Amino acid sequence: MPDRPFPVVDSLIRRAQRVAAGRPDPAHILAQTIRMACPGGADPYAVLGLLIEGTVQTLVDHIPEERRAEIAAALKQLLEERLVACGISDGDA
């Protein structure tokens, strides 16, 4: 078996090690913070804008340039699918 990197497996290993060491998981902290933002009094429009900006900055800063267009398209599709699944339409027929 060739010695190839498996980023997803490596990420899961790091997560398990953080949990085992009692360190907080950054993704969990972010998800919890987002869930608490609007009930905590944050402007929902500002929260949406910040999430979009964070998404774009993550794409630009952490995704290799050669994959950005593919990932951007996947993000658009995922957003559309989630909105439709929640019964939200953009009005286009």
Concatenated DSSP letters for the chain? ------HHHHHHHHHHHHHHHTPPPHHHHHHHHHHHHTTTT--HHHHHHHHHHHHHHHHHHHS-HHHHHHHHHHHHHHHHHHHHHTT---S--
Range of the domain at 70: 43-93
Same domain flag for 20 and 33: yes
pLDDT score of 65 more than 90: yes
pLDDT score of 72 more than 50: yes
Same domain flag for 36 and 26: yes
How many domains would you assign to the chain? 2
Same domain flag for 55 and 70: yes
pLDDT classification of 1: cutoffs 50, 70, 90: very low
pLDDT (average), residues 71-88: 95
Same domain flag for 8 and 50: no
Same domain flag for 47 and 10: no
More confident residue, 48 or 4: 48
pLDDT (average), residues 30-57: 92
pLDDT score of 4 more than 80: no
Same domain flag for 54 and 13: no
pLDDT (average), residues 15-32: 82
Same domain flag for 87 and 69: yes
